[in-house]
Amino acid sequence: MSILEIDGLSFSYEDGTPAIEGISFKVESGEKVAIIGPNGAGKSTLFSLIAGFRTPFTGKVIVNGDALDDGSEDKVRRHLGMLFQDPDDQIFMPTVEEDVAFGPQNLALDDIQGRVMNALRSTGTEALAKRVPHRLSHGMKKRVAIAGVLAMEPAILLLDEPTSGLDPRARSDLIGLLNGMKRTMLMATHDLEAVADLADRVIVINRSIMFDGTLADLAHRKDMLEQAGIELPSLSKLFSRLKDMGYDFRHIPVSLDNATSETARVIDEMGRKRQGR
Amino acid sequence: MIVGHVRGHHTRTDELDEHARASWMGRLDARAKIIGVVVFVTVAAMLTVTELIFAALALSVIFAAFSQVPARHLLKAYAGALPFILIASVSVFLFAGIDRGIGMWARTSACVIALLVLASATESLQLFAGLRRLGVPKIISTLLMLTYKYIVLMADELVRMKTARKARGFSGGRSLFDLRGLKIIGYTAGMVFVRASDRAEKGYEGLKMRGFNFDLKTWRQTRLAAADLAFIAWFAVVSGALITFQLGAFA
Amino acid sequence: MHIPDGLMDPMVSAIGWIEFMVVIAVALLISGKKFKEKDLPRIAVLSAGIFVAQMLNFPIGGGTTGHLVGAALFAIMAGPVIAMVGMTVILVIQALMFGDGGITAFGLNATNMAIIAPLTGWGVYTLVKPFLAGLKTETKHGKMNLGTAIAIGVGAWASVFVSASACAAEMAVSYAISGGAYGIAATVSIPAMLGYHVIIAIGEAMITVAVAAYVLSVSPNAFRSISEKNVAVPGLKGIMSSKIAHATVAVLIVFALALPLYFMYSSEGADGLEKTMEDAGVDEGDAVLTSPFEYGETYFAALFAGILGFVATALVGLGLMNIFKIGRAAE
Chains contacting chain B through 3 or more C-beta pairs under 8 A: A, C
**B171 SS3 class:** coil
Chains contacting chain A through 3 or more C-beta pairs under 8 A: B
- Edge-to-edge strand order for the sheet containing A184-188? A80-83, A156-160, A184-188, A32-36, A201-206, A208-213
- CB atoms A92 and B149 under 8 Å: yes
Q: Which value, to the nearest 10 degrees, does the dihedral of the CA atoms of residues C59, C61, C63, C65 take? A: -30
Which residues from B are below 8 Å from C55, CB to CB? 4-6, 155, 158
B130 touches chain C (CB under 8 A): no
Q: Give me chain C's average pLDDT, please.
A: 74
Which residues from C are below 8 Å from B187, CB to CB? 210-211, 214
Rounded CA-CA distance B29/B127 in Å is 9
Which residue type sits at C83? A
For residue C59, what pLDDT is reported?
A: 66
- CB atoms B213 and A107 under 8 Å: no
Rounded CA-CA distance C251/A215 in Å is 66
- CB atoms B115 and C99 under 8 Å: yes
* B226/chain C closest Cα distance in angstroms: 24
For residue B4, what pLDDT is reported?
A: 39
Q: CA nearest A91: which of A107, A102, A77, A79?
A: A102
* C130/chain B closest Cα distance in angstroms: 25
For residue B77, what pLDDT is reported?
A: 82
Cβ burial, residue B192 (10 Å; 0-12/13-18/19+): buried
Mutation for testing the A interface, residue in B27, B209, B213, B221 having most A CBs under 10 Å: B209
Q: pLDDT, tens digit, for every residue of C174-201?
A: 888 887 788 887 777 888 888 888 888 9
Highest mean pLDDT, choosing among A14-18, A166-170, C91-95, C127-131: C91-95
Contacts of A38 (CB under 8 A, 6+ apart): A206, A228, A229, A230
Class of CATH domain A4-229: alpha beta
Q: What is the mean pLDDT of each run of 10 residues along chain A (277 residues)?
A: 90 85 92 88 88 88 90 89 89 86 86 90 88 87 92 93 88 88 90 86 89 85 77 82 84 80 87 81
Judge whether residue C326 has pLDDT over 90.
no
Which residues from A are below 8 Å from B125, CB to CB? 93-94
Using CB atoms, pick whichever of B6, B42, B104 lies closest to residue C98.
B6
Which residues from C are below 8 Å from B191, CB to CB? 214
For residue A167, what pLDDT is reported?
A: 86
* A26/chain B closest Cα distance in angstroms: 22
For residue C72, what pLDDT is reported?
A: 92
Rounded CA-CA distance B224/A255 in Å is 60
For residue A50, what pLDDT is reported?
A: 93
Q: How far is CA B204 from CA A24, B184, B208, C40, C90, in A?
A: 28, 30, 6, 9, 19
Q: pLDDT, tens digit, for every residue of A210-264?
A: 889 988 888 888 787 877 777 777 888 888 888 888 887 877 887 787 788 888 8
Residue C186 Cα to chain centre, angstroms: 20
Q: pLDDT, tens digit, for every residue of B39-92?
A: 999 999 998 888 888 999 999 999 988 888 888 888 888 887 787 788 778 877
Percent of chain C with pLDDT over 90: 16
Which residue type sits at C62? G
For residue C157, what pLDDT is reported?
A: 93
Using CB atoms, pick whichever of B98, B111, B179 lies closest to residue C6.
B111
Which residues from A are below 8 Å from B212, CB to CB? 102, 106
Using CB atoms, pick whichever of C5, C214, C289 lies closest to residue B45.
C5
Read off the pLDDT of each residue in B159-176 and give the average, rounded to a whole number.
71
For residue B9, what pLDDT is reported?
A: 39
Rounded CA-CA distance A221/A32 in Å is 21
**B111 SS3 class:** helix
Residue C25 Cα to chain centre, angstroms: 18
A170 touches chain B (CB under 8 A): no
Contacts of B169 (CB under 8 A, 6+ apart): none
How many residues are present in chain A?
277
Rounded CA-CA distance C287/C295 in Å is 17
Read off the pLDDT of each residue in B183-201 and give the average, rounded to a whole number.
73
Q: Which fold has domain C10-325?
A: Arp2/3 complex 21 kDa subunit ARPC3 (1.10.1760)
For residue C41, what pLDDT is reported?
A: 81
Which residues from B are below 8 Å from A77, CB to CB? 208-209, 211
Read off the pLDDT of each residue in B208-234 and give the average, rounded to a whole number.
78
For residue B7, what pLDDT is reported?
A: 39
Plot region of B179 (φ>0 → left; ψ -120 to 50 → alpha; else → beta): alpha
- CB atoms B186 and C182 under 8 Å: no
Q: Give me chain B's average pLDDT, please.
A: 79
How many residues are present in chain B?
251
| Cβ atoms B128, C25 nearer than 8 A | no
- CB atoms B153 and C48 under 8 Å: yes
Q: CA nearest B209: which of A114, C100, A150, C148?
A: A150
Q: Cis omega (within 30 of 0) on the bond before A56?
A: yes
Judge whether residue C287 has pLDDT over 50.
no
Cα B22–Cα B26–Cα B28 angle in degrees, nearest 5: 150
Highest mean pLDDT, choosing among B18-22, C8-12, C246-250, C298-302: C8-12
For residue C196, what pLDDT is reported?
A: 85
B102 touches chain C (CB under 8 A): no
Q: pLDDT, tens digit, for every residue of A63-77?
A: 998 999 888 888 899
A134 touches chain B (CB under 8 A): yes
Cα A201–Cα A202–Cα A204 angle in degrees, nearest 5: 160
Cα C122–Cα C123–Cα C127 angle in degrees, nearest 5: 115
For chain B, the maximum distance between any two Cα atoms, rounded to a whole number of angstroms, is 68
| Cβ atoms C156, C123 nearer than 8 A | no
pTM: 0.79
| Cβ atoms C197, C164 nearer than 8 A | yes
Q: Which of C65-74, C124-133, C150-159 has the lowest mean pLDDT?
A: C124-133
Using CB atoms, pick whichever of A82, A93, A134 lies closest to residue B209.
A82
pLDDT-derived band at C309, boundaries 50, 70, 90 = low
B217 touches chain A (CB under 8 A): no
- Spell out a b/e string for A205-237, using b for 16 or more CB atoms within 10 Å of the CB, else e: bbbbbbbbeebbebbebeebbeebebebbebbe
Judge whether residue C270 has pLDDT over 50.
no
Judge whether residue B37 has pLDDT over 90.
yes
- CB atoms C93 and B153 under 8 Å: no
Using CB atoms, pick whichever of B17, B211, B219 lies closest to residue A103.
B211
B36 touches chain C (CB under 8 A): no
- DSSP element (H, E) containing A258: helix A256-276
Up-side HSE of residue C202: CA atoms within 13 Å toward CB? 14
For residue C303, what pLDDT is reported?
A: 60
ipTM over 0.90: no
Residue C239 Cα to chain centre, angstroms: 25
For residue A100, what pLDDT is reported?
A: 92
Judge whether residue C228 has pLDDT over 50.
no
How far does chain B reach from its first CA to its final CA, in angstroms? 55
Residue-range domain boundaries for chain A? 4-229, 233-277
Q: Dihedrals φ, ψ of A124, to 5°?
A: 65, 35
**A21 SS3 class:** strand
